[in-house]
Amino acid sequence: MERPFAITLEVGSSRHNKTGTWRVERPVYVDRLPPCNDACPAGENIQGWLYHAESGDYESAWRKLMEDNPLPAVMGRVCYHPCQTACNRGKLDEEVGINSVEHFLGDIALDKGWMPETAATDTGRTALIIGAGPSGLSAAYHLRRLGHTVTIYEAGANPGGMMRYGIPKYRLPREVLDAEIRRIEAMGVEIVLNHKVDDLAAVLAEKRFDAVFLAIGAEIGKRAYVPAGESARILDAVSFLHSMEGQAPPLLGRRVAIYGGGNTAMDAARTAKRLGATDAVVVYRRTRDRMPAHDVEVEEAVEEGVEMRWLSTVKHADAGKLLLEKMTLDEKGMPTPTGEFEELEADSLILALGQEVDLELLRNVDGVVATDGVVQVDRNMMTGVPGLFAGGDMVPGERTVTVGVGHGKLAARNIDAWLRGTSFSKGGRPELADFDLLNTWYYSDAPQTVRAKLDVARRRSTFDEVVQGLDESNALFEARRCLSCGNCFECDNCYGVCPDNSVIKLGPGLRYEFDYDYCKGCGICAQECPCGAIKMVPESI
Amino acid sequence: MLEQIEGSQAVARAVRLSRPEVICAYPISPQTHIVEALSVAVKSGALEHCEFVNVESEFAALSVAIGASAAGARSYTATASQGLLYMIEAVYNAAGLGLPIVMTLANRAIGAPINIWNDHSDAMAVRDAGWIQLFAETNQDAADLHIYAFRLAEQLSVPVMVNMDGFILTHATERVDLPTQEQVDAFLPPYAPRTYLDPADPVSIGAMVGPEAFTEVRYLASLRQQEALSAIEQIDEEFSEVFGRRPCGFFSSYRMEDAEIVAVAMGSAVGTLKDAVDDMREQGVRVGALGLRTFRPFPADAIRSALSGSRRVLVFERAHSPGFGGQLSADIAATMRSAEPTVHSVVSGLGGRPVTRLSVASAIQAASKGELGLETFLDLDESLLKHEVTELGTARRSSATGGTLAQIIESSGPQGAR
Amino acid sequence: MPFQPIKFYQTGSFVVGNRLLSEDQRSVQSSQARTNSLTLGHRACQGCGEALGARYALDAAMRATDNQMVVANATGCLEVFTTPFPETSWQIPWIHSLFGNSAAVGTGIAAALRSKGRQDIRVVAQAGDGGTVDIGFGPLSGMFERNDDVLFICYDNEAYMNTGVQRSGATPPAARTATTDAVGPHPGEDFGKGKNLPLIAMAHEIPYVATATVAELRDLEYKVEKAMSFHGARYIHVLVPCPLGWGSAPSDTIRLSRMAKETGLFPVFEAEGGEVTSVSNIRHQLPVEEYLRPQRRYQHLFRPQPDTETIGRIQAIADKNISRFGLLNGEPK
């Protein structure tokens, strides 16, 4: 076809006009830190594994999760999910049910028998881990993944630590726990049971191991002094819950009082209820909003008929009754006695006032510092003794399974570096993906999926699991509620909304590139990016 | 085949034989009979593979033709007078885009005062638009020129306007030799557009062109009009071969041998001029007539050589540029570029005023005696003007120059300088 | 709802693409194979809504017609910024003739294709608001009335932007333009003026009329595709913010389109044969003030102090739209 001069032009010839020179600001793709990841004590890349779950690729999701946490089925049940508290979606409608998706992934992995990857070659290095609780198992798993030979000495008859001896079955069925531990063992981790280490110095002296990770937990129940009559029945919550594992349940009587306001107090109260107590009364010296127990625990306890006695301390215990003193909170929120008293009928009193670390095994080890009853570690989780690391409940920090798992991972990475003669660096912390950076218009309106709960009548009388898992369609739905804060999820918005066709789509999984030859820097892509993964940066002119 | 037929019907038949693919028009006298006939042809199925679009204005009429032509269809429309002015933006545009649209202009005066009768004011209003403008002398001419126009337009990618005097030709019934479809098909091949809107080979048509290339675009348009002059000569040959009838070339010449005086006109008045020439020849005046068919492009060389032996050229022109004079005489004077011949503008036939054999002869007579002014309004009815011109004269008296009715008519403003 | 958003897929179909949707559920714009009818290197201002709207609409039309399409374009920004000699940004068969005649040129193209028996090739004519509601209105109305087989798309940025932001018949009340300046006792465009072309189009009882914005791509693409399922005259009116003329941040182009719809000032609906068949519900209703405030053309409504009376009159326009079209419950009155 002829092209008459000037009035008729060859299509697409404007490519010669490089409009990028107009730009004063340039868009750049960034990966910001999602608040969930930021909040996760185990350092999970939650947004990362939800990304796979969203597409129904649960195995990839699980594998992504397993990079940081070897116990998703456990975690999906017992984690207090600070990720969800931090979740940006909470500001939109309700937070994403991350924990429920993790629960689902954990269960489907057990169901399908998926196995984690291990290093192709063994390093020949050995590590000893003392304590098969969450922290020890986590460290063992990560070290094994890295190719090291791992042995765990566990004092108890079964592995799991507080997961087994502290968390009631109705929250964590033992077959789930056993299955996830078995999977770690199947990777080649050796767990030596009934092997209590009394004298660490002696073990270190044997020099059988290139590194040692200490994770013995805090298993001694604090026994605050409560004046008591001779026939008063007082026991501590740790022992009480421990005794639920295979021993004859203790005789508590019909009316049980639990002293304390933490999660353990709730576990004890709910367990007492299930053992047949007509009355299970939690006595706590402050108010509900100051209670360390998590809301969900308190709610479930109340649903199951546990009573709460706020602003009360136990002044005296006697057979069949307690004398409580009413408290009040001063301006700093500290409970102060009022001098008013009342009686509470109680056949037994369970003390749930916290736990302590048994530091006896460290008595002959020089260089380990313990302050306030816990072992001090540096930011690499190493004690004052080179090659001796510690984590979990025995070091400072919140005492939860998730924190323990996180300690185990961090310790493992540092132990790995130690074994290789290098140092481990977490890398720079990316900018946080704040809610304000999102363009939430684009997200579908979708309320959270609630996991079904066991009928209350059954909860009061059995140890069946209370919180049921999601089925696949629910889990998929829930995963897809993720906003993918700060991380591109290939929604094509930038590619579509650019008036200057200056975004190049690279294809599935490959994301996009800006064509700076033409990008005029209008900033629509950044404004319309749902998840805040584009940043406008001034051009240096 | 010879037929006694109305001019409009003859043109409609010629257009039909040219197998247009899109026809669009808006009613305006005196063009209506042509498009009425074409609409019947399309609606009845007599003219196949053609769309007839009844548009809402002349602006749309030519715009539809622009779209159709750009899409590769042979496109036709017809208009006159006010209608042409209403579409004038599109007139320029069609030429600028090089779209070979054929349009009949049934020449008519432009208001105000509103006047439906013939003159060439409309054609003159668009003489600079870049179209080829042909003028028919007879209805045979008008019919032939339409077939011819499609061929010329498409060969050059330039739109062609066929001018035919409103009513005088459009509504006159006379004998016309209408060709057969086979003849037309032999002369006019199917339209093969130079460029068109084709999904298989997309282009952008109608770019914005700035100072860097606009001059060149206009230069090329000028070259194309020059090219049209040779194309016309070539097509004339082919036309006569197919139809056995030789078109008149750029212009028709009548008794031009040894003519000292040449009467020039475009359109139907040429016939009257020929009669007047016969009359004056009988009186011994050496006079001839030249009927200009091709007004744009202006065949300057041919005109120069045709007129070079004459002493006076009388241009009977049916349009007038107030404040300047006749456009056709100005073009001819500019073409001659010399003192000889003297070019007289005889403004005649405005708004349907008949151009009579007698009046033409008397103007020739005056010219032969050296008594004709440089600009004359033929058959001016002074009785009608008495009051008005007195008023005008009063106004003039208050100005620096002043003058009488006679003076005003005779001197006729700035043209007196020529 | 004209376009039923797909829910429960993280972003459903609100975003341009969605890796979780099947290919046939994804937008044209998300495709690496989209036509880019309007391609790189055009000279539109930063954040130009019209450039975006044109690519959205024409790429969708190209998909719907299997690339068998030609376009007639009126004079205006869209023509000027795409085809300054010697470069064109179009990658489709495209013609620019005049300011006021794109509908008629479209008619002519359609007639040509019909006469040639090529009705598989579809015709789009397009113009800005000036070329649609003002100077191009006659030919457009003629095209509608004859039911010519042309889809006409108006890219409405509510003033003559190409010539320097003068008032058009689509300029909204109180908006400052160069010919309705923010001076005198009633700054900006007068109330009670302007024409609603979608409703006028409906009055022609043409097969299909729709409004859309560049904020809701899927809805726009759906409407273009639907328009292409009809033969005869069709009209789509797309709101395309102009950062230059509106005095808005280039990055706000889509946000403002969204707000125009969410306030009710720009009702998004579709109509067949002159009857409204569906409306896009307001998803998160906003007061008009939030839409007006970021635009410098309305800044006289906020400085030196808020002109609550005028803002109230604009709110009343939005409220009337909401009730007239049933923008909150999908039930037109």
CATH number of the domain that residue A25 is part of: 3.30.70.20
Cβ(A389)–Cβ(A412) below 8 Å: no
Cβ-defined contact of B216 to A5 (cutoff 8 Å): yes
- In this predicted structure, what is the pLDDT of residue A447? 74
Which member of B67, B203, B212 has the closest CB to residue C107?
B67
Instruction: Give domain status of residue A211, yes or no.
Output: yes
Of the listed ranges A331-340, B184-193, B269-278, C275-284, the least confidently predicted one is A331-340
- Domain B251-379 CATH assignment equals 3.40.50.450: no
Q: Hey, what amino acid is at A31?
A: D
Cβ(C143)–Cβ(B54) below 8 Å: no
Q: Which residue has 């069709």 as its token pair?
A: C234
Cβ-defined contact of A19 to C38 (cutoff 8 Å): no
**Which residues on chain C are in Cβ contact (under 8 Å) with B56?**
138-139, 141-142, 145
- In this predicted structure, what is the pLDDT of residue A230? 80
**Which residues on chain B are in Cβ contact (under 8 Å) with C88?**
204, 207
Q: How far is A439 from A523, CA to CA, in rounded Å?
A: 13
Residue B408 has pLDDT above 60, yes or no: no
C205's tokens: 């009882």
Cβ(B92)–Cβ(C101) below 8 Å: no
Q: Which residue has 């937990």 as its token pair?
A: A217
Q: Which of residues 477-496 of A touch C (CB under 8 A)?
A: 477, 480-484, 489-493, 495-496
Q: How far is C101 from C136, CA to CA, in rounded Å?
A: 6
Mutate to test the interface with B, among A2, A5, A7, A11 (most CBs of B within 10 A): A7
Give the strand order in the sheet containing A321-329: A312-318, A321-329, A335-345
- Measured between CB atoms, does C6 come within 8 Å of chain B? no
- Rg (alpha carbons) of chain A, rounded to whole number: 28
- In this predicted structure, what is the pLDDT of residue C237? 98
Determine the angle formed by the axes of helices B58-70 and C137-146, rounding to 10 degrees: 70
Residue C333 has pLDDT above 90, yes or no: no
Residue of C nearest to A526 (CA): C251
C282 closest CA partner among C333, C237, C326: C326
**Which residues on chain B are in Cβ contact (under 8 Å) with C108?**
22, 24, 53, 63-71, 73, 75
Of the listed ranges A245-249, A285-289, B378-382, C155-159, the least confidently predicted one is A245-249
Which member of C12, C20, C40 has the closest CB to residue A54?
C20
Q: How far is B151 from B135, CA to CA, in rounded Å?
A: 16
Q: Evaluate whether B2-243 and B251-379 have a shared fold.
A: yes
Cβ-defined contact of A7 to B194 (cutoff 8 Å): no
**Which residues on chain A are in Cβ contact (under 8 Å) with B206?**
7-8
The enclosing domain of A76 has a CATH number of 1.10.1060.10
Bond before C61 cis per omega within 30 degrees: no
Cβ-defined contact of B197 to C95 (cutoff 8 Å): yes
Cα separations in angstroms, A208 against A133, A179, A269, B121: 22, 29, 44, 115
A132's tokens: 């098969």
Q: Which of residues 213-242 of B touch A (CB under 8 A)?
A: 213-214, 216-217, 220
Across C40-108, the runs of DSSP E, i.e. the strands, are 69-73, 94-96
Say yes or no: A80 and A21 in one domain. Answer: no
- The complex's ipTM works out to 0.96
Q: How far is A501 from C32, CA to CA, in rounded Å?
A: 11
Say yes or no: A233 and A351 in one domain. Answer: yes
- CATH class entry, domain B2-243: alpha beta
Cβ-defined contact of B216 to A8 (cutoff 8 Å): no
> Which helix H or strand E contains B364, and what residues bound it?
helix B357-368
Q: How far is C9 from C16, CA to CA, in rounded Å?
A: 13
Residue B337 has pLDDT above 90, yes or no: no
Owning domain of residue A380: 126-218+357-420
For chain B, which residues make up each domain, given as ranges?
2-243, 251-379, 383-418
- In this predicted structure, what is the pLDDT of residue B394? 64
Longest dimension (CA), chain C: 63
Say yes or no: A235 and A299 in one domain. Answer: yes
Residue B263 has pLDDT above 80, yes or no: yes
Q: How far is B20 from B52, CA to CA, in rounded Å?
A: 10
> Which helix H or strand E contains C278, and what residues bound it?
strand C275-279
Say yes or no: A20 and A49 in one domain. Answer: no
Let me know the angle formed at the C-alpha of A126 by A124 and A129, rounded to the nearest 5 degrees.
155
Q: How far is A372 from A363, CA to CA, in rounded Å?
A: 16
CB-based burial label for C118 (10 Å; 0-12, 13-18, 19+):
middle
Residue B154 has pLDDT above 90, yes or no: yes
C98's tokens: 């005049």
- Rg (alpha carbons) of chain C, rounded to whole number: 19
Residue C2 has pLDDT above 90, yes or no: no
| Stretch B24-34: mean pLDDT | 97
> Which helix H or strand E contains B104, and what residues bound it?
strand B102-107
What distance in Å separates residue B24's CA from the closest CA in chain C?
Answer: 9
| Stretch B1-6: mean pLDDT | 94
Topology at the third CATH level for domain C23-325: Rossmann fold (3.40.50)
Residue burial C264-286, b: 16+ Cβ < 10 Å; e: rest = bbbbbbbbbeeebebbbbbeeeb
Which member of A1, A2, A9 has the closest CB to residue B207?
A9
Q: What is the bridge-based pairing of β-strands B132-135 and B102-107?
A: unpaired
Bond before B297 cis per omega within 30 degrees: yes
Cβ-defined contact of B205 to A8 (cutoff 8 Å): yes
Say yes or no: A390 and A508 in one domain. Answer: no
Q: How far is B364 from B263, CA to CA, in rounded Å?
A: 8
pLDDT tier, C187 (very low <50, low <70, confident <90, very high otherwise): very high
Q: How far is A238 from B184, CA to CA, in rounded Å?
A: 110
Handedness of CA A51, A53, A57, A63 (dihedral sign): positive
Q: How far is A440 from A442, CA to CA, in rounded Å?
A: 5
Cβ-defined contact of A9 to C249 (cutoff 8 Å): no
Cβ-defined contact of B203 to A6 (cutoff 8 Å): no
Q: What is the bridge-based pairing of β-strands A335-345 and A321-329?
A: antiparallel
Which member of C5, C41, C253 has the closest CB to residue A518?
C41
Q: How far is A350 from A252, CA to CA, in rounded Å?
A: 9
| Stretch C305-312: mean pLDDT | 96
Which member of B195, B198, B214 has the closest CB to residue A8?
B195
Say yes or no: A251 and A132 in one domain. Answer: no
- In this predicted structure, what is the pLDDT of residue A460? 82
pLDDT tier, B399 (very low <50, low <70, confident <90, very high otherwise): very low
Which member of A444, A499, A523 has the closest CB to residue C11?
A444
Residue B414 has pLDDT above 50, yes or no: no
What distance in Å separates residue A9's CA from the closest CA in chain B?
Answer: 5
Cβ(B8)–Cβ(B171) below 8 Å: yes
The strand pairing partners of A314, in sequence order, are A324
Long-range contacts made by residues B115-118, C-beta under 8 angstroms, separation at least 24?
B115/B351, B115/B352, B116/B29, B116/B30, B116/B81, B116/B166, B116/B167, B116/B352, B117/B166, B117/B167, B117/B351, B117/B352, B117/B353, B118/B30, B118/B165, B118/B166, B118/B167, B118/B168, B118/B268, B118/B318, B118/B349, B118/B351, B118/B352
Q: How far is C235 from C218, CA to CA, in rounded Å?
A: 17
Cα dihedral B274, B280, B286, B287, rounded to 10, equals -30
Residue C163 has pLDDT above 90, yes or no: yes
Cα separations in angstroms, A338 against A328, A330, A331, B409: 6, 11, 14, 125
C45 closest CA partner among C182, C157, C169: C157
What distance in Å separates residue B33's CA from the closest CA in chain C?
Answer: 22
* Helix/strand/coil for A335: strand
- Measured between CB atoms, does B95 come within 8 Å of chain C? no
B274's tokens: 């020929």
Instruction: Give domain status of residue A427, yes or no.
Output: no
Give residue-wise pLDDT tens across range C247-268.
999 999 999 999 999 999 999 9
pLDDT tier, C5 (very low <50, low <70, confident <90, very high otherwise): low
The dihedrals phi and psi of C140, each to the nearest 5 degrees, come to -70, -45
Residue C72 has pLDDT above 60, yes or no: yes
Residues of chain A with pLDDT under 50: none
- In this predicted structure, what is the pLDDT of residue C1? 53
**Which residues on chain C are in Cβ contact (under 8 Å) with B199?**
67-70, 92-93, 121
Cβ-defined contact of C20 to A492 (cutoff 8 Å): no
| All partners of chain C with 3 or more CB pairs under 8 angstroms | A, B
What distance in Å separates residue A18's CA from the closest CA in chain C?
Answer: 6
Residue of C nearest to B94 (CA): C97
Instruction: Give domain status of residue A433, yes or no.
Output: no
Residue B339, number of CB atoms within 10 A of its CB: 6
CB-based burial label for B49 (10 Å; 0-12, 13-18, 19+):
middle
**Which residues on chain B are in Cβ contact (under 8 Å) with A3?**
195, 203
The enclosing domain of A340 has a CATH number of 3.50.50.60
| Stretch C298-315: mean pLDDT | 96
Give residue-wise pLDDT tens across range C206-244.
999 999 999 999 999 999 999 999 999 999 999 999 999
The strand pairing partners of A392, in sequence order, are none
Residue of C nearest to A484 (CA): C10
- In this predicted structure, what is the pLDDT of residue B415? 36
Q: How far is C78 from C51, CA to CA, in rounded Å?
A: 7
Task: Count up the domains in chain A and report the number.
Answer: 4
Residue B418 has pLDDT above 90, yes or no: no
Cβ-defined contact of B97 to C97 (cutoff 8 Å): yes
Which member of B73, B90, B203 has the closest CB to residue C98?
B90
Mean pLDDT over all residues of chain C? 95
| All partners of chain A with 3 or more CB pairs under 8 angstroms | B, C
Cβ(C16)–Cβ(A492) below 8 Å: yes
Cβ-defined contact of B69 to C146 (cutoff 8 Å): no
Cα separations in angstroms, A69 against A219, A404, A417, A479, B408: 23, 11, 19, 18, 109
Cβ(A344)–Cβ(A281) below 8 Å: yes
Cβ(A54)–Cβ(A444) below 8 Å: no
pLDDT tier, B289 (very low <50, low <70, confident <90, very high otherwise): very high
pLDDT tier, B411 (very low <50, low <70, confident <90, very high otherwise): very low
